[in-house]
Amino acid sequence: MKNNFKYNAFTDDSFFDPFDELKRINLFDDSFFENSFHDNLKIFFKRMFPNCHSFEAKKEAEKAILVNGKNDLSTYLERDFQSISAEDFYLVIDQLLDFNLGLEIYFGSGKQFLIDSGQQVLSAVKIDSTNLADFLFNALILRSANGLSLIDNLVSDGFLIESFANKIPKPLFFAGKSLAVFQKKDLLHERVYIDTRIDTDQDRKNDLLLLTISRPKKEVADFKVPVILTANPYFYGTNDMQEDVHSPEGDLSIKDDFNFQIGSSSETEKQLPALKKQEVIEEESFKRSSKTGASTFPLNDYFLARGFAVAYYGGLGTRGSDGLRSSGGPDETTACCAAIEYLSGHRLAFTDKAASNSIRAAWSNGSVAMTGRSYLGTLATACATRNPLGLKTIISESAISSWYDYYRENGLVVAPGGFQGEDADVLALDTFSRWFDGSQFFKIKSIFEKSLSEMKKAEDRQTGNYNEFWDQRNYLNQAEKIKIDCLYVHGLNDWNVKPINVFNILAKLSKHSGQSVNVILHQGQHISPHDIRSFDYLDICNAWLTHELFGLENSIQKTLPKVIVEDNIDPEIWHGQSDWTQTERKSEFNLARLAGEKLASYKDNLTEIYHNHYSNYENYEKDFYS
């Protein structure tokens, strides 16, 4: 499977009934079947300018679009016809998609331009009443010059406000994806405190964890909403104390035999009794903040406008919360799972740090997803191994599956790309923002420094061996417990979190059945693919989470390839595979076409040479490099 999509995704829109989707956004009603072809076409095109608020403004907008060398759109629509050519139609759509006539598109090539740029267009050459709905639906899902679909751009310009006379159904879906129907004024923000039922800072009190939530107001959304949670240890800032980084200099120590039994360490923290439940207050009486107070995750911002609640927490040892940092230890997973259970309605939270009142997430529909990149995505995998109540799926980008594979390799101490001298204790210090509050600094300084000292010893930079410390941070040990659908994303040139991390977790999960596990592999480094213009990542995530959290059937699990890989030569090309190892090995490679000559090429026959002329690899390697 090969896709050369510049503005399109690996999704199958043939799953949807075109008229039902057009009716869903109130573009047409059942009178569509009584109207003439000409009338329906006029209705469609006149709705393509929602930011023009007068008849005259819409008329001028129509005149700015040419259908052919003789007619602009306004003149063209004055004719009474029963059919039009697909070429005329797509040339108009090209211009509505903000492509430039005379620069990118030309008369007679509007349809071919879309095909060449990877768009999925209909093959019919004539449009009439029998296929008009198909073409109108197809036009709305095409990608514009800014990478968004036509329907997304129309919604942004006020299309739905015009369609529903300010009474927009919320949530609203089109082609299996959530539309951006919520505005900032429709959202509220709140802060609650989760009882983790563990005591990591050893003060004989349950650690309370600050959780910030943004969600649609009840008076705006008369439905229960799903939640996207991101566990972000960097949420409230970092220490960035360079002097505490380990020196990478020095001789390697002599290593003893490695004899640790992988998977033998204890996984979970000891659970303490829950704090006493206080009076449960109704959500309407809960005093809320006007903002979350910290940074966000770009993917989540995209979903806030689409009917999802978004929650963040820094975790143990971060500003506003109790506890200590442990760089991926079991305690961090326990705390995160507690937040998931609150967000899905399976436990109470407190309205303040004093635990004076309890509150439940009565607004939640019980479905939670986790998102995040790097450490954030790592905690998503960690939580998935525990299967907390309510966690339905994760979208995990550039994530660690075993912390040993992040800081060590085969007994050697290694540094993540760009962070020479870092180690697990340094990361714990870096993310320990709790002591940014003056009252907390003196209260917690000595116990945290003690924990850092213990971490330095346990991580064992002397031998680099795998031990209990790393075994507790190896999520591969519990991978068989992951029962939810997972979407992984990773850069094949990532030298921070190396691709071995995603390869190993996929290898474990591929042995299971009854779940969808997909991966997107791009050629970038430690980045998120949000801004890769050749790939419609946001739409894939939209379809994925709309299916997983709203329960809308949209065929995403059936049509999305198990592995999607960006070509390593042409970044505009993406390949779909059934598994990571599937590949067609080429024996002949083309280099370049020389002036007046045939294409230069070479044959890769090193494997054949090795088998035919060498009995051991050492001699082969010596001759190869000499």
Residue 216 φ/ψ, nearest 5 degrees: -65, 140
Distance from the Cα of residue 269 to its chain's centroid: 29
Residue of 74, 163, 326, 374 marked active site = 374
Q: Measuring CA to CA, which residue among 14, 172, 6, 1 is closest to residue 554? A: 14
Spatial separation of the C-alpha atoms in residues 477 and 481, rounded to whole Å:
9
User: What are the structure tokens assigned to 512, written together?
Assistant: 């299971």
Is 494 tagged catalytic? yes
DSSP secondary structure code for residue 390 in this structure: T
Helix (H) / strand (E) element for 12: namely none
3-state secondary structure of 248: coil
3-state secondary structure of 404: helix
Spatial separation of the C-alpha atoms in residues 41 and 35, rounded to whole Å:
10
Q: Which residues contact 4 (CB under 8 A, 6 or more apart)?
A: 118, 570, 572, 573, 574
β-bridge pairing 225-231 and 309-313: parallel
Instruction: Label residue 166 left, alpha or beta by phi (over 0 means left) and psi (-120 to 50 means alpha).
Output: left
Residue of 195, 494, 536, 539 marked active site = 494
Spatial separation of the C-alpha atoms in residues 127 and 139, rounded to whole Å:
13
Contact 463, 494 (CB under 8 A): no
Q: Measuring CA to CA, which residue among 74, 87, 66 is closest to residue 42? A: 74
Residue of 13, 178, 322, 526 marked active site = 526
User: What are the structure tokens assigned to 293, written together?
Assistant: 């107070």
DSSP string, 139-192: HHTSB-TTSSBHHHHHHHTTHHHHHHTT---SS-EETTEE-----GGGEEEEEE
Contact 311, 213 (CB under 8 A): yes
CB neighbours (10 Å) of residue 234?
17
Is 374 tagged catalytic? yes
3-state secondary structure of 307: coil
Which residues, listed in sequence order, are joined to residue 191 by a DSSP beta bridge? 212
Question: Helix 37-46 vs helix 55-63: angle between axes, to the nearest 10 degrees?
Answer: 100
Spatial separation of the C-alpha atoms in residues 471 and 596, rounded to whole Å:
61
Three-state SS for 21-36 is: HHHHCCCCCHHHHCCC
The tally of CA atoms less than 13 A away on the side-chain side of residue 313 is 30
Contact 318, 434 (CB under 8 A): yes
- Computed on alpha carbons and rounded to an integer, the radius of gyration of the chain in Å comes to 28
Enzyme catalytic residues: 374, 494, 526
